[in-house]
Chain A
Amino acid sequence: MPRKKALDSTQAFEHAISRSQPTLYVLRLYVTGMTPQSAQAIASIKKICEEHLHGHYELEVVDLYQNPQLAKGEQIIAAPTLIKKLPLPLRRIIGNMSDIERVLVGLDLQKKD
């Protein structure tokens, strides 16, 4: 399954490069209802995106309760989970995003210390 995704995303990646624009970030945040954790994660990731990826990101928030079959398809066990689909490598960022440093590391926007 990850292999298939990689193929698609590679094409998308090359496509993105050909436009010689800043790297496009495709992010998907899976939450489980409106728990405080979910709310905090949503608020936090929106803020980070606006600050660091303004204009070149796509963020989609998915409620797993509404789409339980996605949990299996996306290999999700923890909640909240943010999946960075692009750029590669695929990365899962779990937790309520309160540690912004680590979110940035997870998004490859900042090197690990």
Chain B
Amino acid sequence: MATQRTQLPKSPTGILGLDEITGGGLPKGRPTLICGSAGCGKTLLAMEFLVRGAIQFNEPGVFMAFEETVEELTQNVASLGFDLNDLAKHKKIALDFVYIERSEIEETGEYDLEGLFIRLGHAIDSTHAKRVVLDTIESIFSGLPNPLILRSELRRLFRWLKEKGVTAIITGERGDETLTRQGLEEYVSDCVIVLDHRVTAQASTRRLRIVKYRGSMHGTNEYPFLIDESGISILPVSSLGLEHTTSSERISSGIPRLDAMMGGVGYYRGSSILISGTAGTGKSSFAAHFVDAACRRGERVLYFAFEESANQIMRNMCSIGIDLHPWMQSDLLYIQATRPAFTGLEMHLTMMHKAITVFKPHVVIVDPLNSFVVADNETDVKAMLMRLVDFLKMQQITGLFTSLTAGGDAFEQTDVAISSLIDTWILLRDIELGGERNRGLYVLKSRGMAHSNQIREFLLTNHGVELRDVYVGPSGVLTGSARLAQEAQEQAAQVMRQQEADRKRLELQRKQAQLEAQIAAMRAEFAEQEADLLQNIEQERVRESLLMQEREEMAQSRKADAETNQHKAGMA
């Protein structure tokens, strides 16, 4: 689709997605065959081509109906907002119902379809039509005899249409082994589109495939398409590829401690996040946290719920303290709740695609992903999710998906095997320990960031998800009561240690006191002894002096040499 150099001139259809697949539209001035079984949307596709041509591209058209009357057609497409009466009045569209009643007709020899040519030619000339639809021209085979003549006349008709330079759509009912009952594909060989209406697991999906497109590149896959109140929209897959730009902006998960596990800043913007876990592990609560965080940042969030209604989600999230009502009221959040069985997979995808295109969200939540898995359609689901993930990435939309894993399976296996598409995968699990189940989580992978490898326990409290501290016991992470017991034990041990320290401090104080008492006693003893000794010394001195005195007195009385005695006394 990249080469636009010598492209075949094309006639844009204006139908969402079809122009992308065909690389610009149907071959201009040539007939295109659209075939498919009953009820797959041939008439509508043709009509939309014509109406959009008349309104958007100013190319008037002629619709020649062989099956429905003009009134029926007008009524049928009025539900899509096309006012055929008005378009017919302004000569933008000419409608002609060709009525063929087999019982009225008697063939009496050779004939041709010149009447039809004149009729069509007149309609084309009177509206200056550039587009023509013949819906379903094959029915002339049941109305007119002699198929040989009809075949050659049809061949002539298609050639004539080419000469007229009109872009034509011819619709045909699907045959048993051929694309159309009468093998029209032999005559219309420029472009053949097959529509299909398939029912798988009781859900129907319409698909479109371009079987052939002469002289042009085109998408070759089967593309699911949707018919709703605004007409046909086709989901082109061809535009998807691994070419998306990546953002290195980080956004919070809404749970601070979970952010902390992912390098402290949370998810990458535009990444795809999977939260998987068994039933009741709190997947939706994690999603709600993320929704809340995104809305707080002022971002738009589109929430696809496949299990709960919008009201139920809001009520349940209130119970964990997350109030989503204000975001709903301020149009930041839109919850689209549908049952997975409502339509087929492709239809869901197309509806999601459309909702995303219309709502232009920053964040998309799909809760849960794998409710789509019915019976053995895993490959389909995977293909669908791949397209969804790719589409979100192209638009730089952060996608958060939850996935319910069946208990007993390997935890690291999602039902839809989409792990390879996911950037950040958080696994929630029940941890059974000590006769109870508790909730644990770990980051299984997270591309492009350092992340914690620890298993963490979390609680759903009335103010949201709360991650607890980690206690690793001999048999893994301790959770629940075991964690509480461990917490209590640690607390007790701490108290004991505290008490021990206190005790030691007291002892020290006591020892110090003891020592001081001893010192005081010794001091007292010393003081006592000192006093004793001083007293002794004094006594001695007193006695000495008394002795001296006595001796002097004695000497005086003896009249001895006073001076000598005095000296001797001094010496003593």
A residues at B contact (CB < 8 Å): 2, 30, 32, 37, 40-41, 64-65, 68-69, 71-72, 75-81, 89-100, 102-103, 105-106
What per-residue 1/0 map shows which CB atoms of B173-195 lie under 8 Å from chain A?
Answer: 00000000000000000000000
Whether the Cβ atoms of A106 and B106 lie closer than 8 Å is: yes
A93 → chain B, closest Cβ, in Å? 5
Name, among A64, A72, A92, the residue most crowded by chain B CB atoms within 10 Å (CB to CB): A72
Name, among B105, B118, B119, B122, the residue most crowded by chain A CB atoms within 10 Å (CB to CB): B118
Whether the Cβ atoms of B119 and A94 lie closer than 8 Å is: no
Whether the Cβ atoms of A65 and B118 lie closer than 8 Å is: yes
Whether the Cβ atoms of B113 and A78 lie closer than 8 Å is: yes
Whether the Cβ atoms of B114 and A94 lie closer than 8 Å is: no
Known contacts A75-B98, A79-B113, A92 near B119 by CB under 8 Å: no
B residues at A contact (CB < 8 Å): 96, 98-100, 104-116, 118-119, 121-123, 140, 144
Instruction: Find the B residue at minimum CB distance from A41.
Output: B109
A77 to B143, CA, bound (A): 11
A76 to B140, CA, bound (A): 12
Interface on chain B toward A: helix, strand, loop, or mixed SS? mixed
Whether the Cβ atoms of B123 and A72 lie closer than 8 Å is: yes
Whether the Cβ atoms of B122 and A93 lie closer than 8 Å is: no
Interface on chain A toward B: helix, strand, loop, or mixed SS? mixed
B186 → chain A, closest Cβ, in Å? 21
Contact of B108 among A2, A90, A98 (CB under 8 A): A98
**Chain A hits for B109, CB < 8 A:** 40-41, 95-99
Known contacts A71-B122, A72-B122, A78-B115, A98 near B106 by CB under 8 Å: no
Whether the Cβ atoms of A96 and B110 lie closer than 8 Å is: yes
Whether the Cβ atoms of B108 and A77 lie closer than 8 Å is: no
Instruction: Find the A residue at minimum CB distance from B143.
Output: A77
Q: Give 19 A-B contacts (CB < 8 Å), ordered by A residue.
A: A30-B115, A32-B112, A37-B111, A64-B118, A68-B118, A71-B116, A77-B98, A77-B119, A78-B111, A79-B112, A79-B115, A90-B104, A92-B104, A94-B106, A94-B111, A95-B107, A95-B108, A103-B108, A106-B108
Whether the Cβ atoms of B108 and A92 lie closer than 8 Å is: no
Contact of B115 among A64, A98, A99, A105 (CB under 8 A): A64
Whether the Cβ atoms of B110 and A98 lie closer than 8 Å is: yes
**Chain B hits for A90, CB < 8 A:** 104
**Chain B hits for A93, CB < 8 A:** 105-108
Known contacts A75-B98, A77-B140, A94-B144, A32 near B115 by CB under 8 Å: yes
Instruction: Find the A residue at minimum CB distance from B99.
Output: A75
Name, among A40, A64, A77, the residue most crowded by chain B CB atoms within 10 Å (CB to CB): A77
A92 to B497, CA, bound (A): 113
A82 to B248, CA, bound (A): 78
A65 to B121, CA, bound (A): 10
**Chain A hits for B98, CB < 8 A:** 75, 77
Known contacts A37-B110, A94-B144, A76 near B105 by CB under 8 Å: no
Known contacts A72-B123, A75-B99, A80 near B111 by CB under 8 Å: yes
**Chain A hits for B107, CB < 8 A:** 93-95, 99, 102
| 20 further contact pairs, Cβ within 8 A, besides A2-B99, A78-B111 | A37-B111, A40-B109, A41-B109, A68-B119, A68-B122, A75-B99, A76-B119, A77-B100, A77-B119, A77-B144, A78-B113, A78-B115, A78-B116, A78-B144, A79-B114, A81-B111, A92-B105, A94-B107, A96-B110, A106-B108
Whether the Cβ atoms of A71 and B106 lie closer than 8 Å is: no
Whether the Cβ atoms of B106 and A72 lie closer than 8 Å is: no
Whether the Cβ atoms of B104 and A79 lie closer than 8 Å is: no
Name, among B98, B108, B121, the residue most crowded by chain A CB atoms within 10 Å (CB to CB): B108
B410 → chain A, closest Cβ, in Å? 67
Whether the Cβ atoms of B112 and A78 lie closer than 8 Å is: yes
A80 to B114, CA, bound (A): 8
A34 to B118, CA, bound (A): 15
Known contacts A37-B110, A98-B110, A77 near B105 by CB under 8 Å: no
**Chain A hits for B96, CB < 8 A:** 72
B141 → chain A, closest Cβ, in Å? 12
B532 → chain A, closest Cβ, in Å? 154
A2 to B123, CA, bound (A): 21
Whether the Cβ atoms of B104 and A71 lie closer than 8 Å is: no
A95 → chain B, closest Cβ, in Å? 4
Please give me the 7 A-B residue pairs with the lowest Cβ-Cβ distance, nearest first.
A106-B106, A95-B109, A68-B122, A98-B109, A71-B119, A32-B114, A76-B115
